[in-house]
Amino acid sequence: MANVQETAKDEPGFEPKIVAFLCKWCSSAGSDLAGVSRLQYPSNAVPITIMCSGSMSPMFVLSAFNKGADGVLVSGCHPGDCHYLKGNFYARRKIYLVQKLLQFIGLENDRFRMSWVSAAEGVKFAGVVDEFVKDVKKLGPQTRLKAKR
């Protein structure tokens, strides 16, 4: 599916715009730990802290792409560790369907990612963002879902 969209790839100086939805209890705390540990990662991903990955409406993903995001990251607690018992199980199911939908629309797989990062995994958080930014950079700007203004 990766080649569905033919866009200008590897534009020099292209800095992707990424929205990162972080669960308050794990990934947001994990990103705090990355900060306290002074780990360095690219500044492209702007965090939005939500209460639980289970509160992640598919509309948020579509809205972000519609507003011009080049990539969307959702990060929640490891399955089984949800602060709210089972919110991340709902998230996992929903995210899978959103992935299918995005594929159907013709968006590259690498533009949308879900990760599991606990409050103790600062290093993992930095790694996840680093890798995601690299992958999105390769794809160039996202135009498939971006509203024409």
| Residue 123 interacting with other proteins (CB under 8 A) | no
- Rounded to whole angstroms, the Cα distance separating 91 from 55 reads 8
- Rounded to whole angstroms, the Cα distance separating 108 from 3 reads 7
Beta-strand runs (E) in 57-125: 71-76, 112-116
Contact 22, 47 (CB under 8 A): yes
Stretch that binds other proteins, among 1-9, 29-37, 96-104, 133-141 (CB under 8 A): 29-37
**Scanning residues 69 to 88, which ones bind other proteins (CB under 8 A)?**
69, 81-87
Nearer to other proteins, 1 or 59 (CB): 59
Q: Residues in the site for other proteins, rule: CB under 8 A?
A: 17, 19, 28-29, 31-36, 38-43, 46-52, 54-60, 63-64, 67-69, 81-87, 90-91, 94, 126
